[in-house]
A and B are shown apart, each in its own frame.
Chain A
Amino acid sequence: MTHAEDYTLAELMCVVAARSFPAKGVVMLGMGLPVLAGTLAKLMHAPGISLCTEVGAFDWTPPEGLTRAPIGIHDMLLNDGSAMVSDMVDALGTLLMGGNVDLGVLGAAQVDRMGNLNTLVLGDYRQPERRLGGTGGNTEIACLARSLLTMMPQERRRFVERVDFNTSPCYITGPGSRRQAGLQPSGPNRVVSTFGVFGFDTPDGGETGSCEMVLEAVFPNMDPDIVKLETGWNLRIADEVSELEPPTVEEIALLRRLDPHGFYLVPGRY
């Protein structure tokens, strides 16, 4: 196994996210990079997982001779190789709300100290600095999947103390708040950024512990203090921060093969 010499931070984030997929279980992929990371995971790290989309693809296995990862969750490619295709009531209702999704993989514009996401608006909801595209199925995946993996570029404007608008709850305001809201526990949850990997300080999906985000591992040559600089609150660092294995030549090569049109990894294209 040779380590790759040349890779971007976005590629690194995809590889580390793919490695952190569970060996099996039902995974719902959100829009954007989760689709690329999920395809990489299915092909290389976790062939036993069942990949699903909110649009209605259930347990997608990349077909023989795959030439690309699905371009978004609407790609016709997801109709080829799925065990079942159906609709959104089945995917976000029967499958997700029915309690069948083990892991949701999500991106967003902002993540906060308690892991909540914002996909909707920057600034005040009623007088926004900027409207965004919107939540799609991000809200229900965060509410209803048994655990969450969030992919988020490490930038101070994205890692904020409190999201401008909580579209997608993780631990909301802290211990007990999921239950108070009427939600089931969620976890163990992870955030993978372009700098490292974060967990949350709760042993039971949000009932106890501080529930705040904790830096657990950093990418090669990354100083935890740099991660703190690109985080909008006083980030907690685990007692022992491990250093992640750099991506291998094979991982980077496959990742690039999965994105031949540069939809995901060419800056500014997606």
Chain B
Amino acid sequence: MTASKLMSESEAIDRFVEDGDSVYVGYTSAAYGLCQAIVRAGKRDLEAIGGSVGPQGSYLFLSGCANLVRSGYVAAALRPGIVQDMMEDGSLKFEDYSNQAIALMLMAGALGIPFIPTRSFLGTDYLRAEYQEHPGGFLGDKKWAQMESPFDGQKFVALPALRPDVAVLHAQRADEDGNVQAWGHMGDAKWAYWAAKKVIVSVEEIVPHEVLASDPGRTVVPGFRVAAVVHMPYGAHPSGCSGYYDFDYGFQARTSTRITGSREAWQAFADEWIYGVRDRAGYIAHLREVFGQDALDGIRADAGQTPAGGVRYGYASQLRFRM
């Protein structure tokens, strides 16, 4: 047994997120609760990272915590509003990549290699020389390189490895040692667990180690790579967590998609749902007050779907053989 990694969300953010850090936030396994805790802690000069960056990442831009984003898709820029304005007026610097690029860059970071080749981006305008020094960018000509394979001369794009200072992720369950299990489609989260220098995970449930050890194939990161585990039911709300709850599209329509419309809309949202609550438990209590228990019941995942034929990771404990 190692020392417990279990702590409160504010302690995890205070101890492991520093001003100036690059922070993987992602889109799937979205750690809404941890992102709101970062905003509450008033961190500064952060960079947000994710193949796609969901609305929880935009909390970091809108609150002034982050002023850089490295991504292929910024959900908050989908509609006209202040995030688009910030990207156009330079107050939010960005590097345009893609889902595949960020996923591969995290993988390269995790593998400890300096770059990784891709065939994506060939033939696109992203590679045009005059776009490499973009006024909205911050990486300059270190963003990527066009190369030929040393083996067969084929063209490819070399993407730089990415090692975020910290990753904030949400998952289904963990034990106190920080062994994390997640299931369902994972987007680029899988490699963020391995690429980030510090990993902070919020989970729906804390379970005994024996539960994880009975199904180790579902573990996405062992505890020795995890800095902090936070027990946070509904930590991904208003996005989803497979087996627990779906996206809360109603809440998103009423709040998330409107907050980029104006500074006032953002401030009203932040005052009520971020600064107005102490932590995620307070947020969920407030959700119940405003929308009733039905807001949570309506997104709850169906139970009892486990098909017959569970897997046992068995082995021959009384192994006998002849040489």
Contacts and interface: CB of A to CB of B under 8 A. Distances in A.
Mutual binders A and B: yes
Interface of A: 53-57, 71, 74-80, 82, 85-89, 92-93, 96-97, 120, 125-128, 130-140, 143-144, 165-169, 172, 177-178, 181-183, 261, 263
B74 A134 contact: yes
Among B52, B74, B305, residue most surrounded by chain A Cβ atoms (within 10 Å) = B52
The 10 closest A-B pairs by CB, nearest first: A182-B155, A181-B123, A56-B185, A133-B78, A140-B120, A169-B123, A92-B100, A134-B73, A88-B103, A87-B190
A88 B100 contact: yes
Given A97-B118, A125-B131, A182-B123, A78 B185 contact: yes
13 contacts: A76-B184, A76-B242, A76-B245, A89-B190, A125-B125, A133-B77, A136-B51, A137-B98, A140-B100, A167-B125, A167-B126, A168-B124, A183-B122
B185 A55 contact: yes
Contact of A87 (B103, B125, B136, B241): B103
A89 B103 contact: yes
Contacts of A55: 28, 185-187
Given A53-B185, A75-B247, A87-B186, A97 B100 contact: yes
A189 to B, nearest CB: 14
A4 to B, nearest CB: 27
Interface in B67-82: 71-75, 77-78, 80
Contacts of A53: 185
A139 B120 contact: yes
A182 B124 contact: no
A208 B134 CA distance: 35
Interface of B: 27-28, 51-52, 71-75, 77-78, 80, 84, 87-88, 96, 98-100, 103-104, 107, 118-126, 131, 134-136, 154-156, 183-191, 239-243, 245-247, 249, 301, 305
A77 B125 CA distance: 35
A143 B77 contact: no
A143 B27 contact: no
B99 A88 contact: yes
B84 A88 contact: no
Contact of B249 (A71, A87, A88, A136): A71
Nearest to B305: A80
B185 A132 contact: no
Nearest to B30: A74
Contacts of B190: 86-89
Contact of B123 (A57, A131, A134, A172): A172
A54 B99 contact: yes
A137 B72 contact: yes
Contacts of B189: 87
Contacts of B183: 79, 85
Contacts of B126: 139, 167
Contacts of A177: 123
A143 B120 contact: yes
A87 to B, nearest CB: 4
Given A130-B88, A168-B124, 13 more contacts: A74-B239, A79-B183, A88-B103, A89-B103, A125-B125, A131-B77, A134-B73, A137-B98, A139-B100, A166-B125, A172-B123, A182-B122, A183-B123
